[in-house]
Structure 1
Amino acid sequence: MTDFNGQFFWHELMTSDPQAALAFYTDVVGWTTMPFGPDGDYMLVVGSAGPLGGVMAIPPEAKDCGMTPWWGGYIGSADVDADAARLAAAGGSIKRAPEDIPGVGRFAVIGDPGGATFMLLKGSSPDGMAPPPPNAPGHVGWNELYAGNFDADLAFYTGQFGWTRGDAMDMGDMGSYQLVSQTGGSDFPSMDAGIMPRPDVMPVPLWLFYFTVGDIDAAVERVSAGGGTLLNGPMEVPGGSWIIQALDPQGAMFALVGTRADAGEGA
């Protein structure tokens, strides 16, 4: 059983129109879907190596509080109550106190020191998920934090979850882009996340998740054809991959990482 404690392992879209969102992402990313739960109103999304997340409607109480469509990430926890208290004492905040999801596990919603939100989850089943292989189609290939407080957030995640720092890349006026590893590695191949100061164009601090696709240009065409909005890219990143950031038709921000058939084309 894989130990996902301290690592993102599940990703969830809360949206205003689940069926339309599922149609968009299954075309753009290549997922298959399956219903989950007694009412089948939570839809699992499945990549090449198995389930990786779910899609659900924004709960009415959350909608009343102003929630708009967004992608959230779950970090594994061995003890949600203890971890929530520890993270709050370390400068985070408890946005939703620990509670049980019948048949799923125990979760809590946490804010980091800069204001970005993530969830803790301890599954109720002893059977764990196997991590996908690197660059598995449809799965999250990169996790990126637009930090509301770069120094405090970096210290928070490395100190509380044991993430390790890799190289830091100078982005000029935008500050540093800090590579980190959720699994404690120190070499570039094990880096699976990045932390950077929140750009002025980003309205709030948030975690952004990059789903792995094949040809990035073909994926951009699918995004546009499906009613999505390209925000940035395609842009080449170290290692030879190409990325985009975009909005889905309901307004949730997401990102893709892929390859380019002709790497000699302009970014």
Structure 2
Amino acid sequence: MSEASNFIWYELMTTDPKGAATFYGAVVGWTIAAEGEATAGGVDYRMIGRSDGGQAGGVLALDADMLAGGARPIWLGYLHTPDVDAAVAAIVADGGAVQMPAMDIPVGRIAMVTDPQGAPFYIMDPVPPPGMEGMESDVFSVTEAQRVRWNELSTSDPDAAIAFYKRHFGWGQEGEMDMGEIGAYRFIQRGDVGLGAVMPLMTPAPMWSYYIGVDDIDRARAAVTANGGTITSEPMEIPGGEFSMNGVDPQGASFGLVGPRKG
């Protein structure tokens, strides 16, 4: 692989885009479009805007057919690949599965897959907007608020999962933190950038969790409960002095938050 893959987009699948707009607007400071864009197949898709004018990702409205097919509110990440079809074939050959076959959309070619342990994610070969050829996506940042700052995989087989993502996406794995009886919290990298971590299964099924940057963890925590969300783990200090927490939005999608304590 010539270059390790990055997370280039994040998508919230939800039953209530307007409710999600109110919630994440209050918690994170995002602006989610009031109306869905006209997309292929009539799918309701809305962009997530940041305060600096950039985009943080998108919101896909789950319709009755999607729900009948087993879709549920969830955050999903998109990993870049230069050849979606070849990546799908390689992932399937390595024990993964296809959730949505490769297809072309106006902004590129995408597919949804699961890793061999069952955690879902998208892969994408994007078509850059005119004038932005060669520019990297900025939806992931290790430091900035209103972007995803940390990508965490909870999985039934951390060793196998790390080997899988190394093989297919070129990541590294250096360093870990002892979590006692739970096991090791193992850090993953793209080059010299810390992408996140892989940990033993702590969720009902293997899944990625995405930690969104906020300006003040206590303000954001209060906004979660004030706007109908549920806190599943209270703010805890992390290496470097900031704090992280986990919650579930009013529609049922799990999320993480990370940021400083201002008080």
On whether the aligned pair clears a TM of 0.5, the verdict is yes
Alignment size in residue pairs = 252
State the alpha-carbon separation in 1 of the partners of residues 228 and 161 from structure 2: 34
- Give the corresponding residue for 2:32: 33
Residues 46-195 of structure 1: matches in 2 within 5 Å?
Answer: 46-49=49-52, 50-101=54-105, 103-125=106-128, 127=132, 128-131=135-138, 134-181=142-189, 183-185=190-192, 190-195=193-198
Once the two structures are TM-superposed, the CA of residue 5 in structure 1 deviates from its matched residue by 6.1
- Label 1:130 to 1:154 Cα distance change in 2 as closer, same or farther (>3 A): closer
One-letter amino acid of the structure 1 residue matched with residue 208 of structure 2: W
State the alpha-carbon separation in 1 of the partners of residues 7 and 74 from structure 2: 16
State the alpha-carbon separation in 1 of the partners of residues 36 and 166 from structure 2: 34
Query: Aligned Cα RMSD in Å?
Result: 2.0
- Give the corresponding residue for 1:265: none
Aligned to 1:191, what secondary structure does the other structure show? Answer: strand
Contact 1:94–1:109 (Cα < 8 Å) also in 2: yes
Once the two structures are TM-superposed, the CA of residue 137 in structure 1 deviates from its matched residue by 1.6
- Give the corresponding residue for 2:210: 209
- Label 1:84 to 1:42 Cα distance change in 2 as closer, same or farther (>3 A): same
- Give the corresponding residue for 2:243: 242
Runs (5+) with no aligned partner, structure 2? none
State the alpha-carbon separation in 1 of the partners of residues 209 and 170 from structure 2: 20
State the alpha-carbon separation in 1 of the partners of residues 101 and 70 from structure 2: 19
CA offset digits 1:81-137 (Å, max 9, x no partner): 011111222222222211112x12111111111110000111233634442654222
Contact 2:5–2:81 (Cα < 8 Å) also in 1: yes
- Give the corresponding residue for 1:222: 223
State the alpha-carbon separation in 1 of the partners of residues 251 and 257 from structure 2: 17
State the alpha-carbon separation in 1 of the partners of residues 119 and 37 from structure 2: 28
One-letter amino acid of the structure 2 residue matched with residue 37 of structure 1: E
One-letter amino acid of the structure 2 residue matched with residue 191 of structure 1: G
Stretch of structure 1 that moved more, 244-253 or 144-153: 144-153
Identity %: 40
- Give the corresponding residue for 1:6: 5
State the alpha-carbon separation in 1 of the partners of residues 16 and 225 from structure 2: 18
Once the two structures are TM-superposed, the CA of residue 214 in structure 1 deviates from its matched residue by 1.2
Aligned to 2:163, what secondary structure does the other structure show? Answer: helix
State the alpha-carbon separation in 2 of the partners of residues 18 and 242 from structure 1: 28
One-letter amino acid of the structure 1 residue matched with residue 223 of structure 2: R
Aligned to 1:238, what secondary structure does the other structure show? Answer: coil
One-letter amino acid of the structure 1 residue matched with residue 138 of structure 2: P
Stretch of structure 1 that moved more, 78-87 or 45-54: 45-54
Once the two structures are TM-superposed, the CA of residue 12 in structure 1 deviates from its matched residue by 0.4
State the alpha-carbon separation in 2 of the partners of residues 123 and 60 from structure 1: 28
Contact 1:114–1:150 (Cα < 8 Å) also in 2: no
State the alpha-carbon separation in 1 of the partners of residues 148 and 103 from structure 2: 26
TM (norm. structure 2) is: 0.89
- Label 1:83 to 1:69 Cα distance change in 2 as closer, same or farther (>3 A): same
CA offset digits 1:49-98 (Å, max 9, x no partner): 51120112114332112222111111111110011111222222222211
Stretch of structure 1 that moved more, 89-98 or 18-27: 89-98
Stretch of structure 1 that moved more, 121-130 or 89-98: 121-130
Runs (5+) with no aligned partner, structure 1? 263-267
One-letter amino acid of the structure 1 residue matched with residue 30 of structure 2: W
One-letter amino acid of the structure 2 residue matched with residue 29 of structure 1: V
- Label 1:210 to 1:100 Cα distance change in 2 as closer, same or farther (>3 A): same
